[in-house]
Structure 1
Amino acid sequence: MDALIDAWSEPDARRVAAMLTRRAILTVDTGGVVPGLAGTRMGRTAVASALLGLSRAHPHSALERREANGAPVIAIRSGGRIVAVVLLSKRGGAIDELWAVLNPDKLAHWNDG
């Protein structure tokens, strides 16, 4: 996960894509609140591009390694708030599935306190 955070932070789309399976899939849950980012992307190039797009949507954001439900996740922090959480699943050492939650209602507990 640290290698992905490093590549994503660069941002280096080729390095991000190299960590994904050929058939990688990204599902983005925006709750209908974040137009243009919702939906599913398929294939390592499309997924890598979408991940970099999440960061571009929040200039000056930072990627953080966090934990959710006992599993490691990548959180995107912008303006002092968590604006996205990305959960990954690996197959054969490469990232195969990703779920990005951008829905502000589902992220509220990340920003409480």
Structure 2
Amino acid sequence: MRRVREAWESKDIAALVGLLDPGAVMTADGGGLAGSAPHPVEGATRIARYMVAVADRAPGLELLERSVNGVPGLVARRAGEVETVASFEISGRRVTRIWVVRNPEKLRPWLRAARPDAGTGVAVAPH
């Protein structure tokens, strides 16, 4: 997760592509209450470009490495507020699947658990 976080923070598309499986799929849930990709994003290059576009539109985004649904994940906060929780399925050394939750109703458990020192395994998205 550290390498994914660092590549995302530095907006390094090539590094992200190298960390993603060529057939990776990213699914996002905004619940109609927060912006998200309306359809799954497929392929390492498309996902990497999408992640960098999100970083471009979200200055000041802080990424924290956390366990999500028992798998590696990232929690994205801005101004101390949780905006996104993502979990990652990894096979070998590459990310094969990303589940992103932006729906504020599903993020409520993370609001109190998102302190920088809080490690949480709160489930927010079905797998």
* 1:74 corresponds to 2:82: no
How far did 1:3 drift? 0.8
* 1:58 corresponds to 2:58: yes
* Structure-2 separation of matches of 1:92 and 1:19: 10
- Aligned partners of 2:35 and 2:102 also within 8 Å: no
Number of aligned positions between the proteins: 113
- Aligned partners of 1:55 and 1:76 also within 8 Å: no
| Structure 1 residues 77-92: aligned runs within 5 Å | 77-92=77-92
- Aligned partners of 1:66 and 1:75 also within 8 Å: yes
Structure 2-normalised TM-score?
0.80
Q: Residue 24 of structure 2 corresponds to which residue in structure 1?
A: 24
* Structure-1 separation of matches of 2:36 and 2:21: 24
Which is richer in strand?
1
User: Structure 1 residues 15, 21: closer, same or farther in 2, change over 3 A?
Assistant: same
Q: Residue 49 of structure 1 corresponds to which residue in structure 2?
A: 49
Counterpart residue identity of residue 26, structure 1: M
- Aligned partners of 2:69 and 2:87 also within 8 Å: no
Counterpart residue identity of residue 74, structure 2: I
How far did 1:70 drift? 2.9
Unaligned runs of 5+ in 2: 114-127
SS of alignment partner, residue 111 of structure 1: helix
Unaligned runs of 5+ in 1: none
Could you tell me the percent identity over the aligned residues? 27
Q: Residue 14 of structure 1 corresponds to which residue in structure 2?
A: 14
* Structure-2 separation of matches of 1:68 and 1:81: 17
Structure 1-normalised TM-score?
0.89
* Structure-2 separation of matches of 1:15 and 1:73: 18
* Structure-1 separation of matches of 2:32 and 2:68: 23
- Aligned partners of 2:25 and 2:97 also within 8 Å: yes
